[in-house]
Amino acid sequence: MKPPEIVIGTANFGQRYGLSRRAGGISQRDIHEILELATSSGITWIDSAISYGDAHAKLGLTGSLVKKFRLITKASPDHFISYRKIKIEIIKVLSVTGLERIDYLLAHDASDFILNHSRYIEIFGNLMDEELIMGYGVSCYSKTEILDSFSLSPEIGYLQVPENVMDQRLVNDPSLQFLREKGILFGVRSIFLQGMLLQPVELLPRSFDRYKEYFEAAKREFELLGMTQLQGNLLYAEKIPWASQFVLGVENAQNLSQILVALNTSKPDLSFAKLKAPSWVVDPRMWK
């Protein structure tokens, strides 16, 4: 299988997200420059969500530039109450971005998809019939959610999951490899853990003091291997055997340029097994 494709994440385009926490998201100028560099580098996918503030509108303000990309976006349970409600939201997305259709619409809450799968599947089918979306999927957190989503809807085309060098819950799971071989696309998110895995340990927020030993261990291991935190995290992500894509959030074009340079460095065959951390460290839902 070919190496995973890069997807530009937009969680920080329209809201506070990750370590930067910039009110209202990053600037329009930065968004334009990110997309310009992305398209000139052969990147063709964007990941977004209706819940990401005005991220879709900011994408639309880039004019013809956004039309060079394919869009994955997510909708929350309250948008899937009825076909009428989700259709209105999808038309809004298409209107503000200027795109003709969404490539993949994902259920943002896997547990709600599993509980109400009949309604979701009917809605997805209607949206595809009207050519508002090309395919559908689910944003998952666990192996159970992945397998249940596929079992309830074998026609599913896209599954998005978290994975990173300190997580490693799914990296060697044969069931994900099986689904990948059946043609399902896997998008890997959180490879930088909302920026935590790239931040100097001493600059992590005080609320993360109880987690710091794990981040320090990762940094030391990367240093022993002769690589930066960025190189180490990207190397791990590139070697996830079932990954089709990985979603990268960046603050500006310089960040993206650094990532592209790191991806072009040599790729030694290394094991990062010792960096695996407990779930309460790597799952943002459990951060306090």
Report residue 208 as tokens: 């993360």
β-bridge mates for residue 136, sequence order: 105
Question: What is the pLDDT, as a whole number, of residue 168?
Answer: 94
Residue 66 has pLDDT above 60, yes or no: yes
In sequence order, the β-bridge partners of residue 48 are 73
DSSP 8-state class, residue 186: E
Q: What pLDDT does 194 receive?
A: 85
> What phi and psi, each to the nearest 5 degrees, are found at residue 273?
-55, -35
**pTM score:** 0.94
- Per-residue confidence (pLDDT) for residue 282, from 0 to 100: 86
pLDDT at 226: 87
Query: Which whole number is the average pLDDT over 43-56?
Result: 96
Residue 81, pLDDT score: 94
**CA-based nearest residue to 19, from 259, 255, 220, 240:** 255
How many distinct structural domains can be found in the chain? 1
Of 116-120, 189-193, 222-226, 269-273, the range with the lowest mean pLDDT is: 269-273
**Greater confidence, 227 or 111?**
111
Residue 167's pLDDT is 94
Q: Which residue has the higher pLDDT, 267 or 148?
A: 148
pLDDT per residue over 218-262, tens digit each?
A: 999 999 888 899 999 999 999 999 999 999 999 999 999 999 999
pLDDT value at residue 19:
56
Is a pLDDT exceeding 90 seen at residue 18?
no
pLDDT score of 20 more than 70: no
pLDDT by residue (tens digit) across 152-200? 999 999 999 999 999 999 999 999 999 999 999 999 999 999 888 988 8
pLDDT greater than 80 at residue 285 = yes
Nearest in space to 232 (alpha carbons), one of 186, 166, 141: 166
Lookup: tokens for 240: 């996830």
Per-chain mean pLDDT for the chain: 92
What is Dmax (Cα atoms) for the chain? 56
Phi, psi (rounded to 5 degrees) for 61: -70, -10
Asked whether residue 23 carries a pLDDT value surpassing 60, the answer given is no
pLDDT value, residue 5: 95
The structure tokens listed for 218 are 């990762």
What CATH number does the domain containing 206 carry? Answer: 3.20.20.100
| Residue 16 pLDDT | 61
Q: Is pLDDT of 2 > 80?
A: no
In terms of residue numbers, what domain contains 219? 5-286
Which range, of 28-32, 96-100, 130-134, 234-238, averages the lowest pLDDT?
234-238
